[in-house]
């Protein structure tokens, strides 16, 4: 008979709070003895569990064409943003060195790249 099945002994104190790796062997009982209400099938085989998730088809891509189009557009927009950051660095460096002509050309590049992103946004109003 295990400790969990033995009747209460007045000379034996109740188990104190469990601490993993305790030096006292009575505290290091297997999980099934410490927590008899937890079964090995708790969760997926538990009859009390009626609904296991959001439903059929949840989390799958319903429109793969739209998803690929949005992913391509996002990649292009991120490339443009990185280019704008690089361009802004070049423009500020040129402006600080006194090369205002080059700085104005760089500012024009930044405006053009912004218009490209704006054009991508206007391209398909359905995706907003």
Q: How many CB atoms lie within 10 A of CB 123?
A: 11
Task: Supply the mean pLDDT for the chain.
Answer: 75
Closest CA to 126 of 50, 72, 69, 75: 69
Residue 93: pLDDT band (50, 70, 90) is very high
* Tokens read off for 107: 């500012």
The residue ranking higher by pLDDT, 77 or 110, is: 110
Supply the pLDDT for residue 49: 60
Average pLDDT over residues 84-96: 91
pLDDT above 70 for 59: no
Kindly state the DSSP code that residue 8 receives in the 8-state scheme. Answer: P
Is residue 32 within 8 Å of residue 41, measured between CB atoms? no
* Tokens read off for 109: 């590049």
Closest CA to 73 of 115, 34, 2, 123: 123
pLDDT above 60 for 120: yes
Q: Compute the radius of gyration of the chain from its Cα atoms.
A: 33
CA 120 to chain CA centroid, Å, is 27
- CA dist 39 and 65 (Å) reads 45
pLDDT above 70 for 114: yes
Closest CA to 116 of 78, 63, 68, 61: 78
Supply the pLDDT for residue 96: 93
Residue 125: pLDDT band (50, 70, 90) is confident
The pTM assigned to this predicted structure is: 0.45
């Amino acid at each position: 008979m295990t400790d969990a099945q033995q009747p209460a002994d007045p000379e034996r104190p109740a188990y104190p709070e469990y601490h993993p790796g305790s030096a006292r062997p009575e505290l290091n009982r297997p999980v099934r003895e410490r927590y008899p209400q937890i079964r090995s099938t708790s969760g997926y085989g538990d009859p009390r569990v009626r609904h296991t998730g959001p439903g059929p088809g949840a989390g799958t891509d319903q429109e793969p064409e739209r998803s690929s189009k949005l992913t391509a557009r996002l990649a292009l927009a991120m490339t443009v943003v990185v280019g704008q950051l690089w361009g802004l660095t070049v423009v500020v460096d040129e402006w600080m060195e006194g090369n205002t002509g080059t700085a104005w050309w760089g500012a024009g590049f930044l405006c053009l790249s912004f218009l490209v992103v704006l054009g991508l946004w206007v391209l398909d109003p359905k995706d907003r």
